Structure formats: structure tokens, C-alpha cells
A and B are shown apart, each in its own frame.
Chain A
Amino acid sequence: MASPTTTADAAIPEKKGADDNYLTHDKGFASWAFTLDHKRIGVMYLASVLSAFALGGVFALLVRTELWSPGRTIMEHDTYNQMFTLHGAIMVFLVIIPGIPAALGNIILPLHLGAKDVAFPKLNLASYYLWIIGCLCMLGSLVTNAVDTGWTFYAPYSTTTQTNVIPAAMGAFILGFSSIFTGLNFIVTIHKLRPPGMTFFRMPLFVWALYSTALIQVLATPVIGITLLMMIVERVFGLGIFDPSLGGDPVLFQHFFWFYSHPAVYIMIVPAFGVVSEIIPVFSRKRLFGYQFIAISSLAIAFLGFLVWGHHMFTSGQSVLAGTIFSAITFLIAIPTAIKIFNWVSTMYKGRIHLDTPMLYALAFLWVFTIGGLTGVFLAVMGVDIHLHDTYFVVAHFHYVMMGGAITAFLGGLHYWFPKAFGKMYDEKTGRIGALIVFVGLNLTFFPQFILGSRGMPRRYYNYLPEFQGLHQLSTIGAFTLGIGFLLTAISLGRALKNGKPAPKNPWGGVTLEWTTTSPPPYYNFHTPPPVTAGPYDGYENLVYDEKIGGYVAKT
């Protein structure tokens, strides 16, 4: 689409001069707290989500440390149960669901569309504050008597346990609304604020991915909202919908929960697909292979994702017929996903590949997600899932897709857009080393868990048979390796923020619209409205690298 025009520079400077950007446009706390600018809201989201990630990560390390030996290592049963619950709930509700859409998406989506903002800036800010309130609720449970139900809140345990379930459930409920508002905003933005000339099939795939994600957010999240509300009411008043001792049906809760939470796993991964679709062509200097297939397959995944929730319940006593249907549709999801993987790999064919940090993360994603996805297929095979359900095999599966897939892509996207968002370059070498350590740590942590699981080690176990110890220790070592990788990355990015080299407009040679504006972008994003005359991955050959500015400029 984009002609990465240099002519934009020549346009009328804004009132505050040419180097005015959204970071310097206004100053002071209030200018951030009450900002309506999508980029600032995105940056606030980014900071918040990363802090939550660090917190969730600390809980993960505590969990892993406890599992170093069977029985007590550093904490008691109940504490352990609270640790993994908080770890799961924080990672899912606070980190990975808002992660890519609300943080990176908020910064990039309007830029991708050449728009000045999202459709409803106030709603956007409201969504951020809902996140904060939801987060405070979760923390409220954490510091009082932390919830110990597992992130799935299964009834009747959740309606009877003595711990503070209500603040945590309330937190998840509020975070749900935060997520709905983001999704709603993005759908309207994509429909109504595209510039002239940008047809649906000229949108970058990140936008396509956000669009599919937003559909799921809007259509699935209300159900978890009402479910959690019912659970809360059940706890307080003894409603009798889920708790069998009051006449309720606990399996109904599971249906409600997974009706949301399965689509939610695609809320986590589809934006990651979008990020990878942006990174791979740019760093291969080549048009994306099979653009339309990738675009449509996101929608297909979003749609099919609604019809498979029962695959989490093969052992719950649901009927054979229901199980069969859920299993069959689950397999269908493998197909659009396969299409994506193969198209990304093919994009590199005959490209000119630059192995910078974002690309390293994208490649790590490709391989690790393939493993995660394939193990998902193991779980979709009904007979096999009976054995694997609620074992570490499932834990390994979802960490491969969430940690190895979504978080890896998130980090890739963070590095990719970091120069654009903050106007600073990070240190390439540290970045690469960080990516490498994360990759190694990831596999070391979670691969042994596949073996644990298939050998019969159940999940959510504080204590375990001595036979499992060796593999658990490997996993713990891996977790600390991961920790070092993230710490290094965090330090590297932090240092870049403070004293990184100023970033050029277009350091990677991207051709989507965000690279046509300055880094960081001006308050209103574009000095002149960007023209859209071609597809989103056309025209790499029209850019040349200028060593003096360390970035790409249009060929003259």
C-alpha cells in the first residue's frame, strides 16, 4: 500500500514545530492520565501489561521452585495452590488477552490505517482504566486471602472455598469489559476510519488479525462476564445454579466457562499471527506469500473457535455425541492454522533475510507454535485426551502456544515497533542474545513437561511421585533460564529508552503506513494524509537503505 514517501516531511509543520511528537506534545501526569491519544493509551497499556507479566513471571518462578522437590520445598500446599492460580489468572486475564491488541494494537492500528485515532478515544481510555480497576481487584484478592481455585474457577470448589474468590472473579469480570471495549473500538475503527483507497484486501494482516480478534472479544466475552457474575451470586446468596448441594449443575459452569475461554485462546494467538505476518515479509524483503489465505484463515479460526469449547470436557461426563462433534470441529481448526504456518515459511523462500531481533522472535514463534499446535491436536484426539487431560501434557501444550507463541510474538512485535513507538533504537546484539536465551529457556522449561504429562503426572500437583523429580528439575532450570532471558531483554529495552540512538523513520524497511510517519509519530500521526495505492506488502524494491540515517528511504 504504502509508498513510504519522503515528501511527507515537506508538509506543513504542526503548530509546535517539526520535532513535536506525541511523547513531547504535552507534559505532566495529567496529560498522560487523561489523554485520549491512542498512542499514549497504548504506551500506558504496554507498561501495565509488562509489569503484570513480571508479576505473573515471579509467581511462575515460585511455582517452579516449589516443584524442585516432591513435598515441601519452600511453601505449603495452600500457598502453592494460590500461586499457580494467581500465575494463571494474571497471565491470562491481565497479560496475554490485552497484551497484543490493547498495547501494540492501540499504538499501531490507527497508524496502519492512516487514521488520526481510534473511533472512540474516550472508550479507549475507559477500557484502560477498567484494566487498572480489574488489576486492583486481582491484587486485592492477592494481598488478602488469595484465590486458590485455579484460573478456571470450577464450581463447586469456587463456590465453597474459604479464600477470596470474589475479588478475583470481579477482577476478571471487569477485565472482560475492558476487553470488550477494546474490541468494539477496533471493529468500528477498521470499518469506518480506513483511508480512501484502502480496501479490506489492502489492509495489513495485523489489522486483519486485530479485526478477527475483536470479533471474538465482542462475541465471547459477555458470556464469561455473566458466568462469573452468576458464580459470585452463587457464592454470596447460594443461587443454586452451579453448586449441586443447592440443586445446581457444576458441568453447566464448565460449559459456560469454556464457551468463552476457548475462543479466548484465539484472542491470545490471532493477534500474534498478525505480528508475525508483519515481521516476516519485512525481514525477508519480500511480499508475503498467500496474503488472502492468511487473512481469511484468521476469520475462519475466529469462527470455528466458537464451536469447540467441549474439547476441554471430554472427561466431564458430557455425552459421547457432544464430545464427538467438539472433537471433529477442533481438528478443522488445524487446517487454517496449517495454511498460515506454511505461507509464512514460504514467504522466506528466495527472500533476502535479515536476522534482526524481531525476525528471530518470529522464527522462534514459527517453530515453537508448530509444536504447541501439534500437541493441541494430540489433545483433540478424544481417546488420547482421556489419558492426557489435566496432566502436565496440557500444561506444556498451552505454554508452548501461549508463552512460546503469543508472548514470543509479543516480544517480536515489541522490538519491531519499539523504534516507531519511542523513537529510540535498542541494542541489536543484546536483543538477539535475549531472544536466544528465551528460546532455549522456553524449550528447556516446557519440553520436559510433555514427557511428565504423558507419563501420567497430573497438573496442579504440589506433591509428586519421586520418579518425576528429574524432569521437574530440568523444567525448573529452564524457568530460571527464561527469567534471565527476560531480565536481559527488559534491561536492554530500558536502556534503549533512556539513551538509545534516535530511530529513523523506517529502520527495517517496512512499507505499511506507520513507517511513513516520523518516529515517534506526531500527535496527529501524519503530517499529510498517506495515500493508499497498493497492497500492504508491495514495493520493498522501492526502498533503499541509507547508512547515514540507519534506515530506509524511498529510491530516487
Chain B
Amino acid sequence: MTLHLLALLAEPQLPKLAPSDSFWLPVDASVTSRNIDWVWDFMIWVSLLVTIGVFVAIFHFITKYKAKSRAANEIAEKSAEHNTALEITWSVLPLFVCIALFVWGFKGFVDLRTPPKEAMELHANAQKWKWTFDYKCATGGMTDDTLHVPIDRPVRMLISSVDVLHALYIPSFRTKMDAVPGRYTDLWFQATKAGDYPIFCAEYCGTSHSDMLSHVVVHPAGQYETWLKGACEKADSMVGPERGKKLYSQQGCETCHTIDGTPKIGPSWKGLFGKMEMMADGTPYKVDENYLRESMMDPTAKVVQGFAPSMPTYKGKLSDKDIDGLIEFIKTLK
């Protein structure tokens, strides 16, 4: 477990798929996935049966009844041209299968959609192209770009988006939900295996849709609280450029801003402070603390020339301490 914690402190990295003992499905790590996995297995067997059946029938017929040549002018043997009993049989059998599948699928779905009342609540924020997760600390809160959850406890995720549609997808929990701007959606799960599982963004959201990854860390019994306490303290104690640096990756600034001078979706932060920036309307503006603050709180107020006004506002998401930290961090990028 300590390994996971260490991994967290390091630079963000690609999540890894844990090896699974199923050929088809990823490792299952939640209570709801069982319901789904056996329906899946059932479907696989039905499909195998039907496709092999169809294949065998076709193959049998084309070998047995293959015509010799056109010139031979063979005439098909007489046989029935329709058979109501047969038609009914092969309509009703699949119908039964379908009814069963519908009922099981419905059950699985209702399970997935109804979180237990005692579920602990976490908030997931989607924005282009970063997931962030809010945690409650003893005082105030803390935000992280990794999802941490305790084992064997139901967790309800409240999902929101600030820009376009995204979808929170955790394959190992067999669950997925769209993040819809302007409203909250939710999903729930209860992890059954400690470990580290990937999270994907499954709804197309533009340029870096495929890099909008994260991971969920399932802490073994009792360790979640320890982690949360530590993380809260750390988040709280961090000030100045260090805090800014952390926020830079946690809040997703890095998806649009580099610190090495190359422009991305937004201007690079390298050498930003003190520079004269040209605005879209042609007026130059000197970058100072107030300008930086405004850029984060009301990004469309002044738009830098050559860039689209695509930055979301961070009002309400960054505390004053956070903003100070970011400004300090930007100042260090000479």
C-alpha cells in the first residue's frame, strides 16, 4: 500500500490495467460488477451457440447442396416454402432469451443507479482535460487529481462538468456516467479489492480526450482515513510556489499551459510575469498580480491575442491561498 502512496507523490503517470483472470473483461473490483459479469458470460455463450449454429448450417448446406455446374441445370428438391410451426419456434426461443436478458440487465442497471443511503459522497469535477476530486477535510476541503476510496464502503460520486460533456468511466467497477455541464449526475460503487485501477474519460470532449485519464486507489481497511488526514495536512500546509506547482497539475492548468515556453491551448507561463501581453482587441497589458488573478477568476475579461477564449473560470474553485500560490509559482518561471 505504501507503494501506492509513494506513486502518488511522483509525477502523474499512466494508469496500469491490473491483470485480469477473464479473457474479455478487466479485473472486477466492485460489488456491482458480479451482476454484470455473469450476464456477460451468459451472452457470450448464447452468441457462441447462435453464431456457430448459423455457421454450421450455412457450411453444411453449401457443401451438401452445392450445384455441380450451371450447365447441369439441376432443379432444387421440393420442400416446404414456409412452416408456421418452425417460424414460431425460432421467434419464441430468442424471445425467451431476450426477456431473460432484459430482466437481468434491468436488475444490474437498477443496482448501478441506486446508491445505498449510507454511501459516502465524493465530488468529481470534469473539465477539459482533467479529472479532479474533492475531499472533505476536518477543516475545509482538499482537491486531488486521483480518486481515493476506502474498500468495502459504498461511495457515491457526484459528477459535474464546467465545459462540455465528459464521462467518468472506471472499467474495473463496470460503471460509467456522463458529466453534463449545468447539472449533477451521479454513480456509485463499492470496491472489493484494494489496488489501483484506471479511470478514463469516455465521452468525447475534444483535443486531449484520450489523455483525460486518472486512477482510483482503493485503500485497504482503515487506511483511507490515514491517507485523508495526511493529504489534508499536506495540502493545507503547502504555501507559496510549492502550492502553486501542485495546483498547476491538480487543477488541470497543465493541460493548456506549459512551463517551458511552448504555447499549447493557452499561452505558456514561462517568463509570463512582468511581460507585456497583447490582448485580442489590440491593447497591450502588463502582466502583474492583478492581471493574473483576473485571468483565473474571469478569463474572458481580457483575452490574449492569438488564443481562443476557451479557458474556464476558476472562481469558487481556487481559494485566495491557492491563487497566491499560483501567482508565486508563475513568478518563479523565468
Contact = CB atoms under 8 A, between A and B. Distances in A.
A266 B265 CA distance: 40
B314 interface: no
Given A335-B98, A352-B76, A367-B58, A381 B65 contact: no
Contact of A387 (B58, B111, B175): B175
A351 B58 contact: no
B293 to A, nearest CB: 22
A455 B106 contact: no
Contacts of B62: 348, 353, 355, 363
Interface string B97-135: 011011011111111110000000000000000000000
B82 A338 contact: no
Interface string A160-176: 11100000000000000
Contacts of A332: 98
Nearest to B40: A384
A415 interface: no
B41 to A, nearest CB: 11
Contacts of A463: 210-211
B147 to A, nearest CB: 16
B54 A341 contact: yes
B210 A464 contact: yes
Interface in A141-196: 148-150, 154, 156-157, 160-162
A28 interface: no
Interface stretch (A370-378, A403-411, A431-439, A517-525): A370-378
B74 A377 contact: no
B180 A345 contact: no
Contacts of B283: none
A256 interface: no
B174 interface: yes
Interface stretch (A224-232, A280-288, A484-492): A280-288
Contacts of B25: 387, 454-455
A541 B78 CA distance: 11
A245 interface: yes
A454 B39 CA distance: 13
B64 to A, nearest CB: 9
B308 to A, nearest CB: 6
A112 interface: no
Interface in B40-85: 40, 43, 46-47, 50-51, 54-55, 57-58, 61-62, 65-67, 70-71, 73-83
Contact of A81 (B75, B95, B206, B211): B206
Nearest to B107: A383
Interface string A431-457: 000000000000000000001001110
Given A351-B76, A354-B70, A384-B40, A156 B181 contact: yes
B112 A286 contact: no
A149 B165 CA distance: 12
Contacts of B113: 320
A120 interface: no
B330 to A, nearest CB: 26
A348 B55 CA distance: 13
A422 to B, nearest CB: 21
Contacts of B75: 285, 352, 540-541
B200 interface: yes
B261 interface: no
Given A293-B87, A320-B113, A383-B107, A545 B180 contact: no
B79 A345 contact: no
Interface string A329-342: 00110110011011
Contacts of B310: 160, 162
B17 interface: yes
Contacts of A27: none
Nearest to A390: B202
A355 B81 CA distance: 22
Interface in A460-507: 460-467
A317 B178 contact: yes
A317 to B, nearest CB: 4
A464 B198 CA distance: 12
Interface in B1-44: 14-17, 20, 23-26, 35-36, 39-40, 43
B65 A352 contact: yes
Most buried by A among B54, B167, B208: B54
Contacts of A320: 109-110, 113
A342 B90 CA distance: 8
A459 B201 CA distance: 10
B204 A157 contact: yes
Contacts of A378: 40, 43, 47
Contacts of B111: 383
Contacts of A78: 207
A5 interface: no
Contacts of B47: 371, 374-375, 378
A386 interface: yes
Contacts of B158: none
A54 interface: no
A382 B182 contact: no
Interface in B175-193: 175-178, 180-183, 185
A21 interface: no
Given A78-B207, A377-B43, A348 B58 contact: yes
B239 interface: no
Contacts of A291: 81-82
21 contacts: A149-B204, A156-B163, A156-B181, A284-B76, A292-B82, A317-B183, A334-B94, A345-B57, A377-B98, A383-B36, A383-B111, A387-B171, A455-B24, A455-B25, A455-B26, A455-B171, A456-B171, A456-B172, A458-B210, A460-B210, A461-B209
Q: Which 7 A-B pairs have the closest CB atoms?
A: A383-B108, A244-B182, A456-B171, A381-B105, A382-B109, A461-B210, A286-B76
Given A335-B91, A338-B94, A351-B61, 7 more contacts: A288-B81, A315-B167, A327-B102, A383-B35, A383-B106, A383-B174, A455-B24
Interface of A: 77-78, 81, 148-150, 154, 156-157, 160-162, 244-245, 249-251, 284-293, 314-317, 320, 323-324, 327-328, 331-332, 334-335, 338-339, 341-343, 345-346, 348-355, 363, 366-367, 370-371, 374-375, 377-378, 380-387, 389-391, 451, 454-456, 458-467, 509, 540-541, 544-545, 547
Interface of B: 14-17, 20, 23-26, 35-36, 39-40, 43, 46-47, 50-51, 54-55, 57-58, 61-62, 65-67, 70-71, 73-83, 86-87, 90-91, 94-95, 98-99, 101-102, 104-113, 163-165, 167, 169, 171-172, 174-178, 180-183, 185, 198, 200-211, 308, 310
